[in-house]
C-alpha cells in the first residue's frame, strides 16, 4: 500500500499480518457493561479482554467505496499502528463489520468486510508523548441525500494505551513491538447517540491538537443483495 508521510513523501508498505483489537476500552466497568448489552442482542462475549482478531491483510484498502453483502454493516473509527523495518507509524482506519453476522461470530463478522484506511501516516514517536490528547471522530450519512451526522467522538484516553495493546498482540516481539509488515487496529469509541447502525457513507478523522494536523478518510458503502 502507498502512504503519504512527512513533507509529502510517499512510502510503499507491504502488509502481511493484520490484527483487530476488540474490547479495548480503558474503563473496565464500561467494557463489562458493553459486553452485557451486546449479549442481550445475541453477540457472543469475548473469551478475554482485550481480544485480538486476525483478518486478511488484503482487507485493508484506501478505496473510497466498499462493497458489502446486506444492509446490516457499519464502520467504526480506530487508530491503527503499522510497523516497517525501522519505524512505527500511526494511522487511521475503520473496522467495518457485518453486524448481522456478528451475532454468530465476531471474528467472521470482521473478516466479512473491507477495512478502509487513510492514506496518510504519522511517525509514532512524534505523538507518543501526547497520545491521550489525540481526538477521534466519525460521521455517518444515512442516505445519499442526507447530511452528515456526528457518530463517534472522543480522545485516545478512552482506549487502552496503544503501547500496551501492541505488547499484547499475538505476533508481538519479545520487546513488545510489532514485526515489520504488521498492522494493528486498536479499538474504537462508543457511539454518541442512536446506537450502532448502518449508513450510506462513513467519514472519519484523527486530530492532533498539539501538532495541529489531522488524518482524514471517507468512503461510501455499496450494499449488495442477499440472495437465498
Residues 155-167 have pLDDT tens digits of: 999 999 999 999 9
Q: What is the pLDDT of residues 192-211, one digit of tens each?
A: 988 889 999 999 999 999 99
Cell of residue 216, nine digits? 482524514
Domain boundaries, the chain: 2-224
CA dihedral (188, 194, 198, 200) positive or negative: negative
DSSP string of 110-174? HHTS-EEB-SB-EEGGGTGGGGGG-EEEEEEESSTTSPPEEEEEEEGGGB--HHHHHHHSTT--T
Side-chain-facing half-sphere of 211: CA atoms under 13 Å: 19
pLDDT of residue 228: 85
Q: Is the pLDDT of residue 43 over 90?
A: no
The confidence band for 45, taking pLDDT boundaries of 50, 70 and 90, is confident
**Cβ atoms of 124 and 178 closer than 8 Å:** no
The three three-digit cell numbers of residue 99, written as one number? 453486524
Residue identified by cell 483487530 is 20
Instruction: Report pLDDT for 34.
Output: 78
Distance CA 125, CA 144 (A): 39
Q: What is the CATH code for 2-224?
A: 3.90.850.10
Q: Tell me: pLDDT of 144 over 90.
A: no
How many CB atoms sit inside 10 A of residue 33's CB?
12
Say how far apart CA 173 and CA 167 lie, in whole Å: 8
Q: What is the pLDDT of residue 5?
A: 94
Segment 130-141 shows an average pLDDT of 98
Of residues 145 and 167, which shows the higher confidence score? 167
- For residue 108, the model assigns a pLDDT of 96
pLDDT tier, 38 (very low <50, low <70, confident <90, very high otherwise)? confident
Strand partners, 205: 137, 216
Q: How many Å apart are CA 95 and CA 126, to the nearest integer?
A: 24
C-alpha cell at 13: 508498505
If 0-12 CB within 10 Å is exposed, 13-18 middle and 19+ buried, where does residue 225 land? Answer: exposed
The answer to whether 116 and 80 are in contact (CB under 8 A) is no
DSSP state of 7: G
Amino acid at each position: 500500500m502507498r502512504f503519504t508521510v512527512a513533507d509529502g513523501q510517499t512510502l510503499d508498505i507491504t502488509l502481511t499480518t493484520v490484527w483487530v483489537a476488540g474490547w479495548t476500552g480503558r474503563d473496565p466497568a464500561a467494557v463489562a457493561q458493553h459486553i452485557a448489552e451486546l449479549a442481550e442482542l445475541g453477540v457472543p462475549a469475548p473469551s478475554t479482554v482485550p481480544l485480538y482478531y486476525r483478518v486478511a491483510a488484503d482487507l485493508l484498502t484506501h478505496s473510497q467505496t466498499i462493497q458489502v453483502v446486506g444492509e446490516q454493516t457499519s464502520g467504526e473509527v480506530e487508530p491503527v499502528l503499522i510497523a516497517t523495518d525501522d519505524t512505527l507509524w500511526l494511522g487511521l482506519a475503520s473496522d467495518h463489520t457485518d453486524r448481522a453476522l456478528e451475532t454468530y461470530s465476531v471474528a467472521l463478522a470482521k473478516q466479512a468486510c473491507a477495512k478502509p484506511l487513510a492514506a496518510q501516516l504519522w511517525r509514532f514517536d512524534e505523538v507518543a508523548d501526547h497520545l491521550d490528547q489525540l481526538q477521534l471522530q466519525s460521521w455517518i450519512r444515512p442516505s445519499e441525500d442526507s447530511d452528515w451526522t456526528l457518530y463517534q467522538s472522543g480522545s485516545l484516553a478512552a482506549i487502552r494505551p496503544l503501547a500496551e495493546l501492541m505488547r499484547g498482540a499475538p505476533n508481538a516481539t519479545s520487546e513488545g513491538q510489532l514485526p515489520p509488515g504488521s498492522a494493528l487496529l486498536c479499538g474504537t469509541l462508543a457511539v454518541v447517540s442512536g446506537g450502532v447502525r448502518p449508513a450510506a457513507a462513513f467519514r472519519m478523522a484523527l486530530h492532533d491538537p498539539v501538532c495541529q494536523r489531522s488524518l482524514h478518510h471517507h468512503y461510501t458503502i455499496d450494499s449488495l443483495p442477499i440472495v437465498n
